[in-house]
Amino acid sequence: MFNVTKKSIQWGNETLTLETGKVARQADGSVIATLGETQVMANVTFARQAKPGQDFFPLTVHYQEKYYAAGKVPGGFFKREARPSEKETLTSRLIDRPIRPLFVDGFRNEVLVMATVLSCDLENDPDIVAMIAVSAALTVSGVPFMGPIGAARVGFVNGAYVLNPSMDDMTQLRMKPDQRLDLVIAGTKDAVMMVESEAYELTEEEMLGAVVFGHEQMQPVIDLIMEFAEDSAKEPFDFTPPDYSALYAKVKKAGEKQMRAAFAIRDKQERTSAIEAAVDAVKAAMSEEDQADANLHPAIKKLEAAVLRGDVVKNGTRIDGRDTKTVRPIVCETGILPRTHGSALFTRGETQGLVVTTLGTGEDEQIIDALNGNYRSNFMLHYNFPPYSVGEVGRVGSPGRREIGHGKLAWRALQAVLPAPTDFPYTVRVVSEITESNGSSSMASVCGGSLSMMDAGVPLKAPVAGVAMGLILEDDGKWAVLTDILGDEDHLGDMDFKVAGTESGITSLQMDIKIAGITPAIMKQALAQAKDGRIHILGEMAKALTSAQAFSEYAPKIETMSIPTDKIREVIGSGGKVIREIVELSGAKVDINDDGVIKIASNDANAIKRAYDMIWSIVAEPEEGKVYTGKVVKLVDFGAFVNFFGKRDGLVHVSQIANKRLNHPNELLKEGQEVKVKLLGFDDRGKVRLGMKMVDQVTGEEITEKAEAEG
């Protein structure tokens, strides 16, 4: 009934297995990849014909994590998987980016890729397994795909690269000072296609070494997929790439001159309008048959690319007049919004980000429900890209994959320099509103986010800047790396290579390639130019701000204290009664974690002190020999009970009240009276013994024998 093909290799510390022929047999390609006990099923289907008039490649990638894979029930009211999580969205992008350029040029049939996590051992991250499963499924499906690709995760511990570190190591990266890198890489046998990383100030050489290491370590995976495909691949789909050279010649003749004039305009809006006019002129010059040809749009795009790319490679001159290494003019401003906790306006050329920081308490931490358990995040970065930022109209809705991906890239760049939670007990939310865009708005978010957090008083370890690099690689092998690319250079170029970091090193790197990969030599030059650009941008940022500023008067003030873990129950009280009373009476917010760390937050310093004193009175132990101020709560024949320390009472024996004989304590004391007492010690049953006669009831000072004799 089943025609199963199964292949395995030892990869790192685990066995990697590929299997097909048993599950989802009606899909064009279906592969289950297993690494350790993490298992992902990838299914590929594609349409046999392109839709009439289709002039783009409709590839859709969905990565899905099923909670049953880790033996969990989803949270929420509906108790089922709903909208994609941030991790699912980011992994869908991770898969899409390296495979999209490898489909045969001109193939416009719809392709659907679905990767489903079936089992997760909480050691091997499913994202790498999913990329491998998808690569294998595409390779055996018969779709015109110029793969396979391999993928790997790279860590960097104590100066050594590590293949596929555990999920726990990567989730707790900020808490592990010896683990300095989380890098995901994908590529073909000969070249790197995609890099995504989070780092802790690695040098350019260390980062390049990680990329080379990852590419080497994925080679056995590529060999496995090729061997697997030899036994299980379907017949290749009969597809001949369209030849539109004749149509391109007509387009070039009709519009090259006007297109060159349009690209010579320096202002983006004017240039965009001129390019649109040139495109309209080309279309008007075509016959009705050519206008109906689905290849007309690709032919026009090819002309645009040829005009833009040619001048860069030949003359080193870009469409805005810069050379290949110059960063556009930068203006940085901070503190521009009066009621926010921190704000910055970062402008680089025609790209601008208004970035705002809000400081919150422990209540504001984000709770993340993931396959490997629930955890909290005290740093969030949200990126918004409204249509007006590029002078367009359009639908405004919830954040899309692009917004989530760009926000996460900026988050990775900045989280490496955040202070430890014990040093800065705030929840930090950064929002980047892109108000103008002409290339690299994510890197503007990094720069603006760094300035905004410093304006809010966040003590960053160092300022962070980012820059986007581009690549023009011609058929004759000539190439040019571009610093601080424009939107058109990104759209019509061959690479989007974003590097962020401090003066000391790289904190984040992201690379996307639109061709069949790049070489280490190109990447080395891109990293070197990116460092020069980053240092220049940091210098411009320093003109606005160099260190953390004073807290806004509108930001909450937080004080931390630590208590023994066995005292947590006493502070919380039965059903939370005690802590609710502390919050109500003090007016401060109080947050306690399982380690006994308490955060007390309020805009009122007096409220914080009241809460602190109330908690301290519960958890502190009275010290023998120390003088306390207390209140008489009860009088009995043999002495007085005094509440002297929080809710703790002690007995002052009648013989310890005064230096004279008393028949009854009421001769000197009454209930509710404030007295000064000394803690004499504890009896055999732990009862507190107090004394009054050795304490001056006015000053609270202890009466010495000498002073008593003189008196």
Helix 401-415 × helix 86-99 angle, to 10°:
100
The SS3 assignment for 360 reads: strand
Cα distance between residue 20 and residue 358, in whole Å: 50
Going from the C-alpha of 616 to that of each of 385, 514, 571, 647, the distances in angstroms are 48, 61, 9, 11
**Please, are residues 101 and 515 in contact by the beta-carbon 8 Å criterion?**
yes
- Looking at the fold, whether 518 and 639 belong to one and the same domain comes out as no
Cα distance between residue 22 and residue 25, in whole Å: 7
Per-residue pLDDT tens over the stretch 643-663? 988 778 899 999 999 988 888
Does the pLDDT at position 706 exceed 50?
no
- Looking at the fold, whether 269 and 358 belong to one and the same domain comes out as no
Beta strands in 124-218 (DSSP E): 150-157, 160-163, 181-187, 192-202
pLDDT at residue 711, as a whole number: 47
Q: Which domain holds residue 576?
A: 557-619
Helix 441-455 × helix 401-415 angle, to 10°:
50
pLDDT at residue 244, as a whole number: 87
Question: What average pLDDT does range 22-50 have in this prediction?
Answer: 96
Per-residue pLDDT tens over the stretch 70-95? 999 987 788 888 889 999 999 999 99
Per-residue pLDDT tens over the stretch 482-540? 999 988 888 888 888 999 999 999 999 999 888 776 778 888 899 999 999 999 999 99
Where does a domain end: 203, 232, 261? 232
Does the pLDDT at position 294 exceed 90?
no
Q: What is the pTM of this model?
A: 0.85
- Looking at the fold, whether 24 and 152 belong to one and the same domain comes out as yes
Q: How confident is the model at residue 39 (pLDDT cuts 50, 70, 90)?
A: very high
User: Cα angle at 261 between 260 and 265, to 5 degrees?
Assistant: 110
Least confident range from 77-81, 401-405, 668-672: namely 77-81
- Looking at the fold, whether 68 and 162 belong to one and the same domain comes out as yes
- Looking at the fold, whether 668 and 642 belong to one and the same domain comes out as yes
The CATH number covering residue 276 comes to 1.10.10.400
**Alpha-carbon torsion, ordered 351, 537, 170, 35, to 10 deg:** 70
393 burial via Cβ count (<10 Å: 0-12, 13-18, 19+): exposed
- Looking at the fold, whether 531 and 585 belong to one and the same domain comes out as no
Structure tokens at 423: 């040093």
- Looking at the fold, whether 633 and 613 belong to one and the same domain comes out as no
Question: What average pLDDT does range 274-296 have in this prediction?
Answer: 89
DSSP letters spanning 581-601? HHHHHH--EEEE-TTSEEEEE
pLDDT at residue 176, as a whole number: 63
- Looking at the fold, whether 561 and 515 belong to one and the same domain comes out as no
- Looking at the fold, whether 71 and 202 belong to one and the same domain comes out as yes
Q: How confident is the model at residue 173 (pLDDT cuts 50, 70, 90)?
A: low
Cα distance between residue 641 and residue 635, in whole Å: 6
Per-residue pLDDT tens over the stretch 192-244? 999 999 999 999 999 999 999 999 999 999 999 999 999 999 999 999 888 88
Q: How confident is the model at residue 169 (pLDDT cuts 50, 70, 90)?
A: confident
Where does a domain end: 261, 285, 315? 315
As for how many domains the chain has, the answer is: 5
Is residue 548 one of the residues assigned to a domain? Answer: no
pLDDT at residue 184, as a whole number: 97
Structure tokens at 623: 């010290």
Question: What average pLDDT does range 106-124 have in this prediction?
Answer: 95
The label of the residue with tokens 């914080």 reads 608
Question: What average pLDDT does range 661-668 have in this prediction?
Answer: 89
Is residue 582 one of the residues assigned to a domain? Answer: yes
